[in-house]
Structure 1
């Protein structure tokens, strides 16, 4: 049995390129090799640096000192910037440091849908809103407008009130738009604000929720109790659902109330899963960082009311 050699006549034989070239075994391409470093040039540079140091030691020391001070300044600037970013923009616990410390009453409008139209000229049409199947009833969009207008009117009559539209980016197919921003944009486009608009302040004297009338028991009893908010300072303003949706809405609300009776903070089981589904873009709740007074409340989960300190009980 004969074997085929790899000599000069063999079809598999090859010669490595010469003359300062490298051969890439994977591609089979000869490439120009890198020029070797010139040791004389490196030695010359080092000698010049050493000579300059021996002739001008003071100048070298000044250059090094200036460089060191520059590095320290840059490090201090970046450290201060990172500290600011890490704080999450949290307000100090002192009331005087809030932007609007005189606001004491909260008017919260519960969001129920996201406005998806390209303009605000068709706000009362159902096809301008992202509606779930159970919301697709004639006149449904008009109920959202009623909530918005009711909240603006109530807050506008109280110089110490904050108007808060509630609701995040709850629907993936609606894009990164929030319920709250939808309500705010509509109110602004219709000129309902006038000169009234403020931002969040935190020590509350009274709270008023605007939503559908069939949700009053859940808000006024279950949610209010879970938050430890005094009953005598809590108010509810409800508007009716559409006639075709009312019966089904009341049945659904009864089921939700039963769930919150067992899980007041919505942190377990089906209520927890529902909360996760309402956050398709994985946004985080800003309140624990922005409002350190509520950090313990937002991290609490249990079948009995939270017993820690609450800023509205003072």
Structure 2
């Protein structure tokens, strides 16, 4: 069986599900203030997409990126929030929802998300649908997809919304895209320092074992 992997890129970690719309309920960086309702919409849209395709698998991607949040991952936060909101009226999606708890950046959201699908289904998906910020579409759709060699016709991007301060986000995104253009596989020291910072609990994925085709020695990222 092979179908669609619906990947959701995580952005933050929740601490209080009962007050999930409020900034105080999340571990946020300063620039993320006011964003939690936007994250909820990312989750809702992904759940809706999964409900419309019974053969799909929904994968929340994002590691335990904040020491002050403890060893709780972004992906677990999103799954728990979907559960708290009763899967937006689609409870059946819970049985097809999984966590990818090791991604430390957007490149890994895509690559590791595909590998997590492979762990679950035993083969690559036929199609990938990725849900994240609208302003990040070019980064995912062109840079990351092309870097890992995923076919354009088998990739779909959904950007439900943008942060309120879109101009600031776009300025940061221009810088990020330039960095990925110079270092498509995020192998350089600047990316590696950021990955290390976003892995405070020093967790290590097992995709080299469970997803060997994507981590063979001919892949530039095989030592991630």
> 1:103–1:162: 8 Å Cα contact kept in structure 2?
no
Alignment match of 1:180 (pick from 75, 85, 88): 75
SS at match of 1:284: coil
> 2:215–2:221: 8 Å Cα contact kept in structure 1?
no
> 1:112–1:179: 8 Å Cα contact kept in structure 2?
yes
Matched residue pairs, number? 196
In the alignment, structure 1 residue 107 sits paired with structure 2 residue 6: yes
In the alignment, structure 1 residue 239 sits paired with structure 2 residue 133: no
Q: Distance in 2 between matches of 1:297 and 1:153?
A: 38
In the alignment, structure 1 residue 217 sits paired with structure 2 residue 138: yes
Change (3 A) 1:130 1:159: same
Give the TM-score normalised by structure 2: 0.83
What corresponds to 1:122 in structure 2? 19
Alignment match of 1:260 (pick from 180, 204, 207): 180
Change (3 A) 1:162 1:246: same
How far 1:297 moved relative to its partner? 6.9
Q: 1:277-299: CA deviations, max 9, x gaps?
A: 11010000221122223221796
Give the TM-score normalised by structure 1: 0.60
Q: Distance in 2 between matches of 1:141 and 1:122?
A: 10
How far 1:173 moved relative to its partner? 1.1
SS at match of 2:86: coil
Q: 1:170-229: CA deviations, max 9, x gaps?
A: 011111100000000010111114112225323211101100000000000000001111
> 1:288–1:298: 8 Å Cα contact kept in structure 2?
no
How far 1:242 moved relative to its partner? 3.1
Q: How does 1:1-314 map to 2 (within 5 A)?
A: 102-117=1-16, 120-136=17-33, 138=34, 140-192=35-87, 193-196=90-93, 197-198=95-96, 199=98, 200-201=120-121, 202-243=123-164, 245-296=165-216, 300-301=220-221
- Stretches of structure 1 that go unaligned for 5 or more consecutive residues are 1-101, 303-314
Q: Which runs of 4 or more aligned residues in structure 1 lie more than 4 Å from their structure 2 counterparts after TM superposition?
A: none
Q: Distance in 1 between matches of 2:194 and 2:62?
A: 14
Q: Which of the two has greater helix per residue?
A: 2
Q: Distance in 2 between matches of 1:209 and 1:293?
A: 21
Could you say which structure has the greater relative contact order, defined with CA pairs below 8 angstroms and 6 or more residues apart? Answer: 2
How far 1:116 moved relative to its partner? 1.2
SS at match of 1:255: helix
Q: Distance in 1 between matches of 2:210 and 2:63?
A: 16
Q: 1:124-161: CA deviations, max 9, x gaps?
A: 1111010001112x3x1100100111111101111221
